Amino acid sequence: MSARQSLDQRMETGPCVVLVDDDRLVLHTLGQGLRAAGLRVFAADCGAEAVRLCRTETPDLAIIDIRMPETSGIEVARQLRTDTTVPYLFLSASCDSDLVDIVVQEGAVGYLVKPLDASQIVPAIRVAIARAADLATLQRKEAGLRLALANNQKTSIAVGLLMERHRLSREEAFDALRSRARRERRKIVDVAAGILAGVEELLLRPPDAKSERARVGPAEPS
């Protein structure tokens, strides 16, 4: 196997990054160094191209130079945050604390100060990719927990309504809700949401309609 083939194979399997720097010499040398270290590198010499590559290639990480003409690195990061889930770290020749504060606020997973040696920054890139993956997992879990909490709230309110309307105990009200869900082959939370929607609709009706509904009486919870 030739050295070139070997490098290509590693490039196929290594982490994928989008590298953006308006200095083409830095872009070339750093890009070649990262490729030699086994990373798959898509190079961009402007912010707009970097955003396009992040959308089409969905890399593991974007490595963004802060100071660029037209679209700045900070603006690239904002677009990535809005349009993609690609994590990013910044490159800069400056370690000015105000700039670091901005980078922290922009949600970067890292900050590297130039001049950079490719072999030295590879560990930082791998760590940033791993932490970004952890963060994405935590965000997914949080979204799941929020949904579960919201569903629980709906079910609890619906149980409370049934208890109040029909003078049932908590267990009886919940059993009634569950029985109806089974009978209609729906989720308990969907039945609960239906009850809440019905009450909301009733509350929003004009007084006459409400009194008419009151004479008819509430639907059997069953």
Partner 1 sequence: MTVSSPYPCHREALVREVHHRIKNHLQGLVGLVAEQARQRPECSDCLDYVATQLRSVAIVHGLQSRQPNGDIRLCDMLDEMVIAMQRSQPTGRVELAFLLERGSVRVADDETVPIALITNELLRNAAKHGGAEGDIRVTLAEVRDGVTIEITNTGQLPMEFDFAGERGLGTGLTLIRALLPRRGASLAYSQSGGRASCQLTLAPPVVSRVTSDAMSS
Which residues of the shown chain bind partner 1 in the complex (CB under 8 A)?
24-25, 27-28, 31, 43, 45
Structure tokens at 79: 């677009």
**Spatial distance between the Cα atoms of 103 and 124, rounded to a whole number of angstroms:** 16
**Spatial distance between the Cα atoms of 220 and 87, rounded to a whole number of angstroms:** 52
Identify which of residues 5 and 82 has a Cβ nearer to partner 1 in the complex.
5
Continuous H helices in 37-117 = 47-57, 73-83, 97-105
Structure tokens at 177: 């809700």
Identify which of residues 47 and 110 has a Cβ nearer to partner 1 in the complex.
47
Identify which of residues 25 and 203 has a Cβ nearer to partner 1 in the complex.
25
Q: Give the bridge partners for 43, in sequence order.
A: 19
Give the shortest CB-69-to-partner 1 separation in angstroms. Answer: 9
Identify which of residues 25 and 149 has a Cβ nearer to partner 1 in the complex.
25
Identify which of residues 23 and 57 has a Cβ nearer to partner 1 in the complex.
23
Structure tokens at 208: 């006459």
The answer to whether residues 125 and 17 touch, using CB atoms and an 8 Å cutoff, is yes
> Coil, strand or helix: which one is 205?
coil
Give the shortest CB-200-to-partner 1 separation in angstroms. Answer: 58
Give the shortest CB-25-to-partner 1 separation in angstroms. Answer: 6
Give the shortest CB-28-to-partner 1 separation in angstroms. Answer: 4
> Coil, strand or helix: which one is 20?
strand
Give the shortest CB-98-to-partner 1 separation in angstroms. Answer: 18
**Spatial distance between the Cα atoms of 22 and 93, rounded to a whole number of angstroms:** 13
